[in-house]
Structure 1
Amino acid sequence: MSKVMLVANRATSIKKEKDFHYIGVDGGALLLSEQNITMDYAIGDFDSVGEKRRTELEKITTIEHLPVRKNESDSEYAIKFALERYDEVYITGVSGGRLDHFLSVYHMLAFQEYHFTIVDEQNHISKLEQGTHHIQKHKKYLSLFAVCESEITITGVEYPLYDRKLNLHDIYTLSNEIIDTEAILEIKKGTLIVIQSADKKNTLD
């Protein structure tokens, strides 16, 4: 199963994982290049990179050069591009900056028919649909948010829930914790955004 990490502009460092392919998104391609991490593609309009650096990238990877004026952001295009070519898609470097850019990626995940994972130093954000899911612990806290009317049971956590209904307005499923080796989440109805997060000092690898 192929896995790819999209590295966008806000990423500051990358821990290379041996099982991952890499794609640089606009300025994220420069970070991969500086860290000597081989990338399958570099995608973007490269308006902030400059002609010289773009030429350097062309020597080491395949460039998907996007126009500056377009209907999709670089990250949106890169996510769709990757989903057509890899089994699992992760994106980092989209948080911590412009909130509108982050929300556009979040809305793709939450409210459109795309399945990928948003990661950064403190967060691991994914979407789960109806079925039984074994959730491995990535970060200290576990929060669930419904994107439509949902019904869940969750065990293996500090605050288990049984046959609970969630709607888009519910926020009481914030800041739970996985206490067993994994949490078991049964989504009997609906779709959830699952956010694992950590305070800076408690970030888990």
Structure 2
Amino acid sequence: MTVNRVLIFAGGRLDPGMLREVRPDDILIGADRGALFLVEHGMKPDLAVGDFDSVSQEELNLIRTYSKETLVCDPINKDLTDTELAFEHAVRRNPAEIVLTGVIGTRLDHTLANLHMLLPAAEQGITCAIWDEYNYITLCGSVSQVVDHGYTYVSLLPLTPVVTGITLNGFLYPLHNATLRIGQSLAVSNQFVSPIGTVTVGEGWLLIIQSRD
């Protein structure tokens, strides 16, 4: 059975406005403090997962009470971050789409690791996005129809060392068969000129980052 969409709420910067994006048929997964965020805002996670080292025992009891399922792992003897654990459980549900929020915060290492999760999702044919108040991030490895979500800028950054054959349509600054390498900022701070833009990639993986200050 294919699940339409899984929303993962992690323990980074969380925007209550994201709760308005929850659909009745969404599967909700809370990773560590993200589960507490859902519960405190009247939501019932389908799964709460993590080591829960960022919540008190009282808060963990609250999570257990209001989550349909809670999986607590050892904070020392584990190989994955709480967010990746949540992501793996999301993938097992065979969703058409995964949305991650609360995965950007003060820990740059965690933020980068979370951005990298877009790649295994794409390789498995799952539409995946990182979405919060300031950013909407997807990954392109062939052709993407990019919907303008109302952010100020749209930037393209290579996730692989080299991305070739980049062509843009529907953007203020077009590209045709361009090449981007890690370390180049050529495609930063572009803008939409139509409600939907098209990004085409020949080889490599390209991050598409819609953002605002």
AA of the residue aligned to 2:72: H
In the alignment, structure 1 residue 83 sits paired with structure 2 residue 91? yes
The corresponding residue for 2:196 is 182
Question: Is this contact kept in 2: 1:151–1:190, CA < 8 A?
Answer: no
Among 73, 96, 100, which residue is 2:109 paired with? 100
AA of the residue aligned to 1:94: V
The corresponding residue for 2:57 is 51
> Does 13-22 or 74-83 show the bigger shift?
13-22
The corresponding residue for 1:203 is none
AA of the residue aligned to 1:60: Y
Measure how far apart 1:136 and its partner are. 0.3
TM-score by length of 2: 0.85
The corresponding residue for 1:5 is 7
Question: Is this contact kept in 2: 1:29–1:42, CA < 8 A?
Answer: yes
> Does 74-83 or 163-172 show the bigger shift?
163-172
Q: Deviations over 1:36-66 (max 9, x none)?
A: 1121111111122222222222222200111
TM-aligned CA distance change 1:153 to 1:12, over 3 Å:
closer
The corresponding residue for 1:147 is 159
In the alignment, structure 1 residue 15 sits paired with structure 2 residue 19? yes
TM-aligned CA distance change 1:191 to 1:53, over 3 Å:
same
The corresponding residue for 1:27 is 33
TM-score by length of 1: 0.88
User: Identical aligned pairs, as a percentage?
Assistant: 32
In 2: Cα distance, 1:182 partner to 1:198 partner = 18
Measure how far apart 1:12 and its partner are. 4.4
> Does 29-38 or 114-123 show the bigger shift?
114-123
In 2: Cα distance, 1:165 partner to 1:57 partner = 47
Aligned length: 196
Measure how far apart 1:137 and its partner are. 0.5
Q: Deviations over 1:56-86 (max 9, x none)?
A: 2222220011111111110111112112212
The corresponding residue for 1:202 is none
Structure 2: runs of 5 or more not aligned: 123-127
Q: Deviations over 1:88-109 (max 9, x none)?
A: 1111112132112112212333
